[in-house]
Amino acid sequence: MHFEILVEGQADHIALAILLPKIIGSYRQPHTWKIHPHRGVGKVPEDLFAIPHVHDRSLLHNLPSKLRSYGRELQKDEMVVVLLDLDERTDCRHFKEQLTQILTSCNPAPKCLFRIAIRELESWFFADPLAIKSCYPAAHISFLQGTLFPETEGGWEELALLIPPPDGMTDLPKKAEKRSARIGDYKVRWAKKITPFMDVERNWNDSFIQFRDGLRKFAR
């Protein structure tokens, strides 16, 4: 099976490039994939059939057009995987229904798997405290093993409180900077350092398990 994987940004790209061989095996043994990072999540266009704006490279803005293209071009042993953060959205089911609605507008529609990281990809790290401790020995691991930051609530802000600032960065990011390049730098550095230590079998984050098992289902 070949997977075309659409993600929000560079940190997601880095994390999945490391995680995919752990989930479905080494590249070309027998599966292949290509990960496509975008510039943020963006918004679904009101007109699903509109031509995407050339300067908007966000995932949701381009998703209707990309799914239509994949529907025309992909073969039987190829499929699309779309991974998005839930972020501040309160209803995961409703968000997934919105995504599915985009897919139903395609004729033909590609084989597609939608997966939502709750609340964001950094939440997956919280469900593997040993991975964090392995690369950040000074991390406040007791917080991770307690109830201060449940797995569905821990995100990049909480991660910034638990571990030392990345090399070359001396202050913590602020919530108001969520979409800033500085936050993107933090996310990239965490993905590079933590993901190699993650054990995909012991991770208890439900949205990660749904992502892992969904891929394995199609890989079989």
Q: What is the pTM of this model?
A: 0.90
Identity at 17, one-letter amino acid code: A
Identity at 122, one-letter amino acid code: E
Contact 59, 6 (CB under 8 A): yes
Contacts of 15 (CB under 8 A, 6+ apart): 121, 124, 191, 195
Q: For the chain, give the percent of residues with pLDDT over 90.
A: 70
Six-digit token pair at 27? 């590249």
Q: pLDDT at position 142, please?
A: 64
Contact 85, 120 (CB under 8 A): yes
CA distance 75 to 209: 27
Q: Where are the beta strands (DSSP E) in the chain?
A: 2-7, 32-37, 78-85, 112-117
Q: pLDDT at position 53, please?
A: 95
Judged on CB neighbours under 10 Å (0-12, 13-18, 19+), 104 is exposed
Virtual CA dihedral for 182, 209, 36, 86, nearest 10 degrees? -50
Task: State the DSSP code for 120.
Answer: -
Q: pLDDT at position 143, please?
A: 58
Q: Where are the beta strands (DSSP E) in 112-219?
A: 112-117
CA distance 220 to 97: 26
Position 102 pLDDT exceeds 90: yes
CA distance 78 to 75: 5
**Greater confidence, 18 or 147?**
18
Identity at 188, one-letter amino acid code: V
Which pLDDT tens digit goes with each residue over 30-65? 999 999 999 999 999 999 999 999 999 999 999 999
**Greater confidence, 173 or 16?**
16
